[in-house]
Structures are given as C-alpha cells and as structure tokens.
Structure 1
Amino acid sequence: MSSRLQAEHLYKVFGRRPDEAVDRLRQGADREELRADGTTAAVIDASFTVEPGQTFVVMGLSGSGKSTLLRMLNGLLDPTAGQVLFDGQDLTALSARELREVRSRKISMVFQHFALFPHRSVLENAAYGLEVQGVPRAERELRATDALAMCGLAGWEKSWPDELSGGMQQRVGLARALATDAGLLLMDESFSALDPLIRRDMQDQLIELQKKLKKTIVFITHDLNEAMRLGDRIAVMRDGSIVQIGTAEDILVRPANDYVASFTRDVDRSRVLTADAVMDKDLRGDEADCGCETATPDTSFVDLCAISARVPHAVAVLDGKRRLVGVVPRQRLIGFLGDQQGEPTPCDAPRDKAVKAVKSDA
C-alpha cells in the first residue's frame, strides 16, 4: 500500500537568508543560534508518511511548529526546503493556479475558529467548497445536506451560524470539508476552542465518521489525551523538530526521551493501552483451546483488569488462532498504572499457572 501523503525533509525558516539558515541547520546549528541572527526556524527536517484512511496526529506545545508544518502540507506556506507529495504528486512543484485546484478538490481544511460566513445559511456554508469547484446548485445542495446529516445537523440547513452553538458551528465546518469528498482532511486545532464536554462530543463524532468514511486525516493538537484518542499514529514536535513518531502505545510505553515522557505523566493509561502493549511475550505456545477466561491482543486495559480480577492466575493472551502469544501478570497491570513503564515483577508462579491452564485445556 503506497502512502497517501509524504513529507520529506521539510524546513521552514523565516527571516534573512533562509537557504543559508537551512544549510547551517543541516550542519548542526540549533534554533537558538539562528534566532540570535534574527532568523526563526519554524520547522526543521520534518519527515513522515500518512497511509490511506489513517488519522495522523501532530502534537506539541505552542511554538513547536505544528501549525506551520500543516500549512506546508497544502501549499499555504512554501517550504524553504523539502517536498510534500500527495498521491505521488509533488505539491511543492505546482504553480499557484495548480495549487488552488488541488486545494479546492483534493484537500479540505477544518479551522480552529469555524470560519463560517455569517451571511450564508448552514446549508450554503456546508456547500461552499462545492460552489468553488463549480458544482451545479442542485447537486451541491444535495451533497451538503448529506454531509450535514452525517455530522448530526439534519434539520438545521436553513438556520444561520449565529443561531448555532460553538459545537454545532464546528460541525458545519466539518460538513463543509466532507461535502467536497476530498482525499485529505487537514484539521488545525479544530476542537480546541470548544468547551471540554463539547470537545469530547466532537472527538466522538470524528471517530464515528472515520469508521464509516476512512478519510486520510492530519490532525493538529496540543492535547496529548486528544492525540491518543484520535490518532492511529502520532508525531510529537518540539522546537520545530519531530522528536518521536509512533502509535499511542509507543508514545506512552516507549517514549523516545524525557521530553516525550513528561507529556505522558497525566495520561489515563487505561484508555490507551491494550493487552498487546502490556503482556509478557517471552512465553508463547502452540494452538490452545482454553476453558478459562482469556484475552486477545486487542483487549482493552480496562477489560484486561476485569479479567485479571476474575481469574486466580495471570491472564493468558491468545491470538485469532487460539495460540498463546503472551501472559499478563496482575502485578504488571499495577505497574503500568503507575509512573513506571510496566517492568515485569516477580510473579513467575502465577504466570506459569496461566500457561498451564491454557495448555492443559488444549
């Protein structure tokens, strides 16, 4: 499967002699050295791929470069160096007219502050991208109506934006992006202006839509909990550079450095981890058919804890062919709930009981 989106060694430098600044960065200069000369390195050597149907989240604190990176992905900012490839097409080599065509048909964006036209109805706002494309009115209204329904706004088509709550306005922005049927959806801190409960509701909405539509999404956020909830893969940025790329479990269980680890301290691990992340994989077995309660690699941490409470031994983890792929001792679960990274604890006897329970019933 080829990547839908590729960023290759992207740099964005603001200030004097940007090309010279990129050369200095490549030779080992840091951001502070350039800033002393009146130059700002907003993005430094960023590379990643996004697969079709994947939600790729870029997270970092304010000033980390994540929004600048996003704007290079659709040509709103020209990179100082590097390439952006979408479906194999080099966006950095396109003319301004060609870029506008790509943005109108292939790439949609959902902004943080809704960006709705106050003098247009909800339906007209949702249909705006299609209007730009030159789609006939009857077709664009039909497609916009369908998109609004997908976003939970059926019946609000004739309303005005100021009649809607913040969450509903953001749903209109999402519907506008979906109506164009673009291949890539860019979302820049799209939920951060919303109240916590509405924000959670919008996250739920996006998760449900993604299950059905399988869009390719790049989502920008400064909230690690949001990143872990939404992202298939997550890129963590610091001072213009990507310091780690991985799944939510990778970021949580195997942080690349102390900076990444500091983000994970307040994360609710039970909402992120699965049996695959916490199990002891040293013990594996052949095909087994166990009469005791077992887990699969996809079993959530919460469900795993519940199973552990019901069995007198470590929980056996079986794959789809009923083969033993690991075990989860109770103390290991406790370890993952704390600050420690789930290192094994001395409980070989309960673990052996789990293995014997599986194999004796095989």
Structure 2
Amino acid sequence: MQQPKIAVKNLTKVFGDPPHLALKLMEEGHDRKEIQQRTGLTLGIADVSFDVAQGEILVVMGLSGCGKSTLIRCLNRLIEPTAGQVLIDGEDITELSNKALLSLRRRKFGMVFQNFALFPHRTILQNTAFGLEICGMGQDEREQRAIQALQLVGLEGWEQAFPSQLSGGMQQRVGLARALAVDPDILLMDEAFSALDPLIRRDMQQELINLQARVKKTIVFITHDLDEALRLGDRIVLMKDGRVVQIGTAEDILSSPASRYVERFVEDVDKTQILTAGGIMRDARVLALPTDGPRTALHKMEKESFYSLFVVQQDGTLEGYVWADDVGRAIEQGDRQIAPHVQRDHQTVAPEEPVSTLIAMLADSRIPVAVVDEAGRLLGTIVKSNVLAALAAGQSDQTTTATTVPALDKTSEDAHES
C-alpha cells in the first residue's frame, strides 16, 4: 500500500498542567466534561487517528468546540500535541527540533485561515509573495512565483491592487494564492470560507474543486458546515467533544451513520445530491451475449421472469438490450443470434452520477438505467426501487457495490418494472 501523506496516530492535546492527570482519566474512558470537572484541564482532542492520502481532500467537521481547529494546528505543531504522532511522509514531526520543524513547515505546509490576514499597505502581488520573502527568495523569483499563483486562483491582472479594492471572495483567493505560492505539499485550511457570504462561499468551494483538479494538493479542510463538507471532501472526519465519531465518504456517512449523533447531524441533508449511482446500483444477475441464440436468451429471461435483458460483449461492454417479444419473433423466424434484435436506446450513467439525476431518468423508463465505466463496461443497474430504498432507509445493506463485469459472471437487475 502507498504510504499516506499524513498519518495521525492517537493524537491527544490537553490544555493545562499537569496533563498526565487528564491522560489517565481519558484512558479510563472518561469524557471531556468529566475530565474538566475533576482536574480543571481541558481535553482539546482525544486519541485521534486517521490517514490522509496524497492528493486527497480530507474534511474535518463538527460543531463549535469539537476540537477540529485544535487538531489542524497540531498537524504542523502550531499547537504542541500532548501525546501521539503526526507523520508527514513517514517522518514523525513531534520529534523534530524547532529548527527542523520550521524548515519542514516552509517546505511542506501552506495555511489558509478564516481571517484573510492580508497586509493592507501591500499590493496583492506583495501579499502573495510574502511567504517566499520570509523564506529569503529573491525579489524577481518570488514575484514570478506569486504571479503564477494568482493566475491559478483567477486573479491575473490584480497584482498591483490593494486588499481594500477587492471583494471578500477575492481577498480569500489572495490568501489561497499566498499559500500556493510556496508550492506546499499540504494545504491546511481552517474555516477558510466561513466569513464569506453564501453565494461567494459556494463560488469559492467550486474554485477549490477546480483548482484541486489541476494542482492535486493534499488538503485538510476544517468546517462546521455539513453541506460544505459533503461538497468538498473525498472523505469526512466527524468529531464530537474532541473525539472522532466517524470517518468515511459522504455516502458512507449518509448511508451508514455510526451513531445517533451522526444520524441527527445528517438528517436534513438532501440525499439525492449526495448518494450516487455507484452506491445504489445492483449487480446484473443475468446478461446475454450478442452471439446468443434467441432460445438461450429466452430461457434466461423465463428463468428470472424478466421481460427484457441487457446484452454485453465478452469484455462486459454494454451493447443494448432485447425484449422477450422480439426474441420470441426471432425464434419464429429461425434466427440463430439475437444481435439483429438488440435495441440501443437505453440510458447510461457513470458511477458518480447523483441520485437526483436518476429520478428523472427513471420516471418514464421501462428498463433499468445502466451504470457503466469509462470504457462502457456494465457495472450494475438501477431501477426505481433502488432509489426509493436508498432514500427511505439510508442503509448500506440496501445497496451492493459492483465491480467491472467480466463476460457473463455478473448479474443483471430485472430489466423491467411492473
């Protein structure tokens, strides 16, 4: 397995002295409130563990006071952890000297805060180049790097403006450009869009998604906003009272909440925007080949009480479907193969297609929607009952995640709905 970019292991932060009193109570299973009442110490984060893969956006979220901002500051030791490890590319930064830590921060980390923290008397170019200036880079080189970073965030042409001349969203883009200018491996973003108006905030979220498609940074993003977490995160770490209560994709958390707290957290989410075709599809139980004879195809349909059947090539590439009536006529005509009777007006979607799109597609469809990969191979099928089950129950066992269909060893969902 590839080494994670960030590996957090049993990370704990106690505010106050002596911390060992709180650690002992934590190990005995006492919660934050009990520890504070008994010792006067505050358990900021407790025994937190997770990995972040190269190029992943990991969103850490929870209500105010859950420990998420403490956690992100422990990742680069702006706050000193009390116990545990933070490994960056396999190197435990909790063991580094101050000098080595400062060098690692400059090489590996960029930070974007809720407060734009721009210097009002400096131009946008100078603000963007500030981190490079601190690192001792020459003026020509740092300005060139800053210009490139401003281009990445869509602020080309604003280099000589001052912060007061920019909107809030544009100022936050400068903050992002300043972090990108040093070309860090890791971006730590603490409530970066929380101070923005809702429309500007959504624009910035999309800007980050677009930017990440180009630069492929490893990002840890802190938010208290569930919609923002669901939109941005490849995975989500949900925290409560300093502890991690669940880690997973948006679909994992919506479909299989780990506790009543998580259920309540996500109960008002529009699942049609989050659940995907790949998450609710079913394996194709029965398939046909274009070279199958009509009697063979009809036998497969009768065995499963199907009125229609998807047809695939040997490698699983979807060709179309056939109706039982057409196959019956082929038998009467003496046809040897079903290929001439394959219809190709079926609807296909990619695994990441949201359920909201499927609802309209299935409304008037007599056959399932086919889920296919980039090569057109059939992965699974979706009928109305799949969507209803996923939205009503929200249980992961209502769904089956399928893999690529090699030849005929995968199955087909009933190709009709009565």
* TM-score over 0.5 for the pair: yes
Q: Structure 1 residues 310 and 245, CA, compared in 2 at 3 Å: closer, same or farther?
A: same
Aligned residue in 2 for 1:24: 25
Match of 1:314 among 362, 368, 380: 368
CA distances 1:128-173 after superposition (whole Å, capped 9, x unpaired):
1111111110010011011111111111111111121111110000
Contact kept in structure 2, 1:333 and 1:342, CA below 8 Å: no
What is the distance in 2 between the residues matched to 1:106 and 1:201? Answer: 27
Opposite residue 181 of structure 1, the aligned amino acid is D
**CA contact 2:390–2:398 (8 Å) conserved in 1:** no
Summarize the alignment of residues 279-298 of structure 1 with structure 2, pairs less than 5 Å apart: 279-281=281-283, 283=285, 287=316, 288-290=318-320, 291=344, 292-298=346-352
SS of the residue 2:319 aligns to: coil
Answer yes or no: is the 8 Å Cα contact 1:122–1:172 preserved in 2: yes
* Alignment partner, residue 82 of structure 2: 80
Which runs of structure 2 are paired with 1:306-345 in the superposition (5 Å)?
306-319=360-373, 324-338=378-392, 340-341=394-395
CA contact (8 A) 2:9 2:50 kept: yes
In 2 relative to 1, CA 145–322 (structure 1 residues): closer, same or farther, beyond 3 Å? Answer: closer
TM superposition shift of 1:323: 5.1
- The alpha carbon displacement at 1:313 in A equals 3.2
Deviation at 1:328, TM superposition (A): 1.9
Match of 1:126 in 2: 128
Equivalent pair of 2:254/2:394 in contact (CA under 8 Å): no
**How far has the Cα of 1:182 moved from its partner?**
0.5
Structure 2 SS opposite 1:289: strand
Task: Name 1:352's counterpart in structure 2.
Answer: 414
In 2, distance between residues paired with 1:284 and 1:111?
Answer: 53
How much does 1:28 deviate?
A: 1.4
2:231 maps to what in 1? 229
Q: In the TM superposition, what whole-angstrom CA distance separates every residue of 1:73-98 from its partner, at most 9, and x where no partner exists? A: 01101111001011111110111222
2:387 is the alignment partner of 1:303: no
Name the counterpart of 2:408: none
Identity %: 52
Residue correspondence of structure 1 range 227-306 to structure 2 within 5 A: 227-281=229-283, 283=285, 287=316, 288-290=318-320, 291=344, 292-306=346-360
Deviation at 1:22, TM superposition (A): 1.2
Residue type of the alignment partner of 2:319: D
- Alignment-derived partner of residue 4 in structure 2: 3
Q: Aligned with 2:415: secondary structure?
A: helix
TM-score by length of 2: 0.79
- The answer to which of 304-313 and 228-237 deviates more is 304-313
Distance (Å, rounded) in 1 between the aligned partners of 2:100 and 2:377: 53
Equivalent of 1:213, from 212, 215, 223? 215
Q: Please list the CA deviations of residues 303-322 of structure 1 after superposition, one character each: whole Å capped at 9, or x if unmatched.
A: 32232124213323344565
Aligned residue in 2 for 1:63: 65
Count of residue pairs brought into register by the alignment: 351
Does structure 2 conserve the Cα–Cα contact (< 8 Å) formed by 1:284 and 1:324? no
Is 1:135 the counterpart of 2:137? The answer is yes
Unmatched 5+ residue regions in structure 1? 356-362
Q: Hey, what's the Cα distance between the residues in 1 that align with 2:149 and 2:388?
A: 44
Range 335-344 or range 5-14, more displaced: 335-344
CA–CA separation in structure 1 for the residues paired with 2:36 and 2:363: 56
Q: How does 1:168-179 map to 2 (within 5 A)?
A: 168-179=170-181
- Matched residue type, 1:191: F
Task: Give the counterpart of 2:118 among 116, 119, 142.
Answer: 116
Q: Secondary structure at the match of 1:46?
A: strand
> 2: distance between equivalents of 1:81 and 1:282?
50
Over alpha carbons, which structure has the higher Rg? 2
Secondary structure of 2:269's counterpart equals coil
Over the aligned positions, Cα root-mean-square deviation in angstroms equals: 2.2
Distance 1:352 1:239, change over 3 A: same
- For the 8 Å contact 1:316–1:354, the answer to whether it is kept is no
Could you tell me the TM-score, scaled by structure 1's length? Answer: 0.91
Pair 92,340 (structure 1): closer, same or farther in 2 beyond 3 Å: closer
Corresponding residue for 2:160? 158
Native 8 Å contact 1:127 1:143 kept in 2 = yes
Partner in structure 2 of residue 360 of structure 1:
none
Q: 1:279 to 1:131 in 2, by over 3 A?
A: same
